[in-house]
A = this chain, B = another copy of it.
Amino acid sequence: MCGIFGVFGSPKNEAAKWTYYGLYAQQHRGQESAGIVSSDGENVFSHFKMGLVSDVFKKPSSIENLKGSLAIGHNRYSTTGTSNEFNIQPLLVKTRFGSLSIAHNGNLVNTIELRQKLEEQGSIFRTSTDSEVIVHLIAKSQKATLEERVIEALLQVKGAYSLLIMSENQLIVARDPNGFKPLSYGRKDKSIVFASESCAFDLIDAEFVREVEPGEIIVVDVNGIKARKFADEVKKTFCIFELIYFSRPDSRVFGEFVDKVRRKFGKFLAIENNSVSDVVISVPDSSNTAALGYASTAKIKFEIGLIRNHYIGRTFIHPDQNMRDLGVKLKFNTVGGVLKDRRVTIVDDSIVRGTTLKKLAKLLRNAGAREVHVRISSPPVRFPCFYGMDFPTSKELVANQMTIKEMTAWLDVDSLSYLSIENTLEAAKISLQNSNGEFCDACFTGNYPENVPPNEKNIFQKC
> Which of the segments A166-174, A197-205, A371-379, A434-442 contacts the partner chain?
A197-205
CA distance A139 to B334 in the complex (A): 42
A124 to B135, Cβ gap below 8 A? yes
> Which of the segments A54-62, A214-222, A390-398 contacts the partner chain?
A54-62
CA distance A309 to B292 in the complex (A): 20
A125 an interface residue at 8 Å Cβ cutoff? yes
Q: Which residues of B contact A250 (CB under 8 A)?
A: 307, 333-336
> Which of the segments A313-321, A380-388, A409-417, A421-429 contacts the partner chain?
A313-321
A94 to B124, Cβ gap below 8 A? yes
Q: Which residues of B contact A226 (CB under 8 A)?
A: none
CB distance from A283 to the nearest CB of B (A): 14
- Residues of A within 8 A of B (CB-CB), count: 79
A333 to B25, Cβ gap below 8 A? yes
With beta carbons under 8 angstroms apart, the residue of B58, B96, B116 that contacts A120 is B96
Q: Mark A88-106, 1 if CB is under 8 A from B, else 0.
A: 0000111110001000000
With beta carbons under 8 angstroms apart, the residue of B24, B248, B319, B333 that contacts A330 is B24
CA distance A317 to B316 in the complex (A): 23
**Given contacts A259-B338, A292-B304, A94 and B136 within 8 Å (CB-CB):** no
| Residue of A119, A204, A250, A335 ringed by the most chain B CB atoms within 10 A | A250
> Which of the segments A156-164, A178-186, A295-303, A444-452 contacts the partner chain?
A295-303
CA distance A24 to B333 in the complex (A): 12
With beta carbons under 8 angstroms apart, the residue of B27, B96, B199, B316 that contacts A311 is B27
A and B contact pairs by CB, cutoff 8 A, 14 listed? A21-B326, A24-B330, A54-B316, A63-B317, A94-B124, A95-B119, A122-B139, A202-B334, A249-B304, A250-B334, A260-B337, A285-B307, A292-B302, A302-B302
CA distance A60 to B318 in the complex (A): 8
B122 to A323, Cβ gap below 8 A? no
Q: Which residues of B contact A335 (CB under 8 A)?
A: 249-250, 257, 259
A350 an interface residue at 8 Å Cβ cutoff? no
Q: Which residues of B contact A57 (CB under 8 A)?
A: 317
B123 to A24, Cβ gap below 8 A? no
Beyond known contacts A250-B335, A288-B304: 15 more, CB 8 A cutoff? A21-B319, A21-B326, A24-B316, A54-B313, A54-B316, A55-B313, A63-B317, A94-B125, A96-B116, A119-B139, A124-B136, A202-B334, A203-B329, A248-B307, A250-B334
CA distance A297 to B160 in the complex (A): 48
CA distance A25 to B331 in the complex (A): 10
Q: Which residues of B contact A77 (CB under 8 A)?
A: none
- Give residues 38-72 of A contacting B (CB, 8 Å): 52-55, 57-58, 60, 63
With beta carbons under 8 angstroms apart, the residue of B203, B315, B334 that contacts A58 is B315
Residue of chain B at shortest CB distance from A59:
B317
CB distance from A442 to the nearest CB of B (A): 27
CA distance A124 to B134 in the complex (A): 12
A310 an interface residue at 8 Å Cβ cutoff? yes
A312 an interface residue at 8 Å Cβ cutoff? yes
A125 to B95, Cβ gap below 8 A? yes
B93 to A126, Cβ gap below 8 A? yes
Q: Which residues of B contact A336 (CB under 8 A)?
A: 250, 252, 257
A140 an interface residue at 8 Å Cβ cutoff? yes
A25 to B257, Cβ gap below 8 A? no
